[in-house]
Amino acid sequence: MPIDKSIVGKTGKPFTMPIEWSKVREFARAIRDPNPVYFNPELAKQECGGVPVPPTFLQVAAFWMGEDSMPTANFDLRRILHGEQEFEFLKPIFVGDVLTGTSRIADVYEKEGGRGGKMTFMVTEIEYKNQKGEVVAYARGTLVETGQAVGG
Amino acid sequence: MAHKQRYFEDVEVGQEIPPLEKHPTTQQLVKYAGASGDFYQIHYDKDFAIKNNLPGVILHGALKNAFLGQLVTDFAGEHGWLRKLSVQYRGMDQPGSMIVCKGKVVKKHSEHGQHLVDCEIWLENAKGEKTTLGSASVVLPSRHQAE
């Protein structure tokens, strides 16, 4: 399928992401990060000003948001690889915050690959604002559509 | 664990970040699937993974990213601040063997009154392959600002 540059700039429907302690704790346990700031709110308040979130916690939004929040290209899901991921933090995110995320297709480009043939890259940027309207973070993910099925 | 706070002045270019060992198991992949909502079967269903030409179940790339996140937040300490974390997924890893997260300070600079430490970070499996690599930028407190 030829590359469709017109999708660059396309945004999804903003989604809401409440930062809940039980979910943050579950995530910290799953990655086995024993840092007490995720488990002891009093200590966290004293040390950090609130219970912070593990740096990659925002990754879970990808599975919480509705389909209309994620603008997509016509990628074949069987040939998709998650190539790169970047998180940029501008302000602290604490348990109790209610974030609003807006996803945008930041770039689409092609490259000649090795075994996989031609590869298409799509960069999606999610901007997160807190309940005060401050931008707190950007999450940028690069998806790669390979020339053949993943693992094949 | 209580981390001793590291200050900007304590860090030198070329210095290694204290490594972080991880021992991922299939159980951890199931827990991460539940915590993150990523239920793609290649991460916990061996038959499904093999049918998809994989050697067995493989780690979520995002879990490896989370390990590297822990490496740098441990390094930054409670009074430090992670500004940026970027990773590239280069290879697959299977549960059942040790993974080590490593890093090295590559640059120290100050911007708008913030003291930044840029690091190269990577994750090495038991075969010595760097399957995930990237960079992180961390703000550290300065001893001159501390009371």
| CATH code, domain carrying B53 | 3.10.129.10
Q: Write out residues 50-79 of A within 8 Å (CB-CB) of B.
A: 54-56, 59-60, 62-64
In a domain, B144, yes or no: no
Mean pLDDT of chain A: 89
Residue in chain A nearest B84 by alpha carbon:
A88
User: Model pTM?
Assistant: 0.93
Q: Which residue range(s) make up the domain with B98? A: 8-139
Overall number of domains in chain B = 1
pLDDT of residue A114: 67
Ordered per-residue pLDDT tens for chain B, 147 residues: 445 799 999 999 999 999 999 999 999 999 999 999 999 999 999 999 999 999 999 999 999 999 999 999 999 999 999 999 999 999 999 999 999 999 999 999 999 889 999 999 999 999 999 999 999 999 999 998 754
In a domain, B77, yes or no: yes
Residue in chain A nearest B35 by alpha carbon:
A27
In a domain, B98, yes or no: yes
Are A146 and A113 a contacting pair, CB within 8 Å?
yes
Q: What is the DSSP string of B48-94?
A: HHHHTT-SS----HHHHHHHHHHHHHHHH-TT-EEEEEEEEE-----
Chain A residues inside the 8 Å CB shell of B81: 89, 92
Return the higher-pLDDT residue of A79 and B102: B102
In a domain, B114, yes or no: yes
